[in-house]
Amino acid sequence: MAAEYKSLLLNSTWELVALPPGRKTTKSKRVVKIQTKMDGTPEEYKARLVAKGFTQVHGFHYNKTFNPVIKHDSIRSIFALLATRDMHMIQCDVRIAFLYGELDEENFMEQPGEGYEKDAMLVCRLK
């Protein structure tokens, strides 16, 4: 969770602000997953901080339900590079791709929680 939190801060995912009058926050949740090897032993532990989007109202908190997190030009460039070098891609994993999405609306989320709060009176304004 510490590595996930650090990447969120390094990418300026939010800024701490006072909640404007008449606005509500979206709750957040930590999601933890254990990836295992073929024999079932733990290989990697992953943690994600997610906004509980189901608490939002369409048309009020947001207008779209999908936002691409990677630019198509980036994908084309990777495929072009692979083709010119006669290489094959087996898998591509971008750890923090979701951080590159852009928001048009102003959304506020509760701070990540115990051990990660800076000031209990402030909320995260998502960028």
Give pLDDT tens digits for 30-82: 888 888 888 989 888 888 887 776 665 666 555 655 555 667 788 889 889 99
Q: What share of the chain is helix, strand, coil (3-state, %, to 5)?
A: 25, 25, 50
Residues 48 and 88 in one domain: no
Q: Is residue 120 part of a domain?
A: yes
pLDDT class of 118 with cuts at 50, 70, 90: confident
Its domain, for residue 110, covers 2-57+103-126
**Identity of residue 21:** P
Residues 50 and 90 in one domain: no
Q: Is residue 62 part of a domain?
A: no
Residues 14 and 72 in one domain: no
Q: CB atoms < 10 A from the CB of 107, how many? A: 19
Q: CB atoms < 10 A from the CB of 122, how many? A: 15
Q: Considering its fold, how many domains does the chain have in total?
A: 2
The model's pTM: 0.55
Residues 12 and 52 in one domain: yes
- Residue 123 pLDDT greater than 80, yes or no: yes
Task: Give CA separation, 74 vs 1, 11, 71, 80, 84, in Å.
Answer: 28, 19, 5, 10, 16
